[in-house]
Amino acid sequence: MKQLFIAGLLALGLAACHTQDSAPAAAASVGPAPTQDTTKTYPVSMLDNTKDPFCGMPASAGMEDTIHWNGKVIGFCSKECKEGFLKDPKGHPVTFK
């Protein structure tokens, strides 16, 4: 039974390989390969603050990290600003919309 199961899995794997497009590979491109920007930004519409409470950067410039704070979504321009705020939240008042 175990051998039959393994044989079935192998057959499915081979079938999947043969159904893929077999178009020839594209010619090598000149220049560096494209990179993907992995920076995530949160839209201003989902934030309850108008600026980063730690550094003062406007939320419209782009917030890369958030926390839920007293029932509100607070955006920060960086992980470092978020960490700085969390160390002393009372020392960095939040400006709400």
Whether residue 58 lies inside any domain: the answer is yes
Q: Can you read off the two tokens belonging to residue 56? A: 């003062």
Whether residue 72 lies inside any domain: the answer is yes
Whether residue 33 lies inside any domain: the answer is no
What pLDDT is attached to residue 50? 94
Q: Mind listing the pLDDT tens digit for each residue in 45-94? A: 999 999 999 999 999 999 999 999 999 999 999 999 999 999 999 999 99
What pLDDT is attached to residue 33? 55
Whether residue 35 lies inside any domain: the answer is no
- Cα gap 39→31, rounded to integer Å: 23
What pLDDT is attached to residue 81? 96
What pLDDT is attached to residue 39? 60
The backbone region for 83, taken as left when phi is positive above 0, alpha when psi lies in -120 to 50, beta otherwise, is alpha
Whether residue 76 lies inside any domain: the answer is yes
Total count of domains within the chain: 1
Please check the confidence at residue 14 and state whether its pLDDT lies above 50. Answer: no
Domain with 54, as residue range(s), is 44-91
Whether residue 37 lies inside any domain: the answer is no
Whether residue 11 lies inside any domain: the answer is no
Q: Can you read off the two tokens belonging to residue 59? A: 């939320």
